[in-house]
A = this chain, B = another copy of it.
């Protein structure tokens, strides 16, 4: 199935590209690689504030991470001139998880994003990844995810 059939099946409507909260742009392409800025974890269009190990659960976090992946796919669509079929590979994900010094399930939270990428892109959605706990995130968001993708030249 194509990426658009998968999005339809999953009942996902892609959002427009987010506005940066500061002095940067949401993506830059260099050669065949597109580098996406960190996308904040959101709920109802606003940063989902919280810190894992204190006031947000893994299950909630997975939903927020899934939404961040949807937001990144929206950004990728823009980077592809509106046509996601030009994505050749999701290459690398870096997931920053706002957590207390004793929370150790960053990988489970991040699966919310990784699983969605594979559901939408199939085999080419499988990516390299690092996930870890950070002291805080801009605006207090519970997570922030950036991504590198390969697209058609």
Contacts and interface: CB of A to CB of B under 8 A. Distances in A.
A67 to B, nearest CB: 16
B93 A136 contact: no
A37 B126 CA distance: 12
A137 interface: yes
A9 to B, nearest CB: 19
A15 interface: no
B135 A101 contact: yes
A17 to B, nearest CB: 12
Interface string A130-145: 1111111111100010
A111 to B, nearest CB: 5
A30 B89 contact: yes
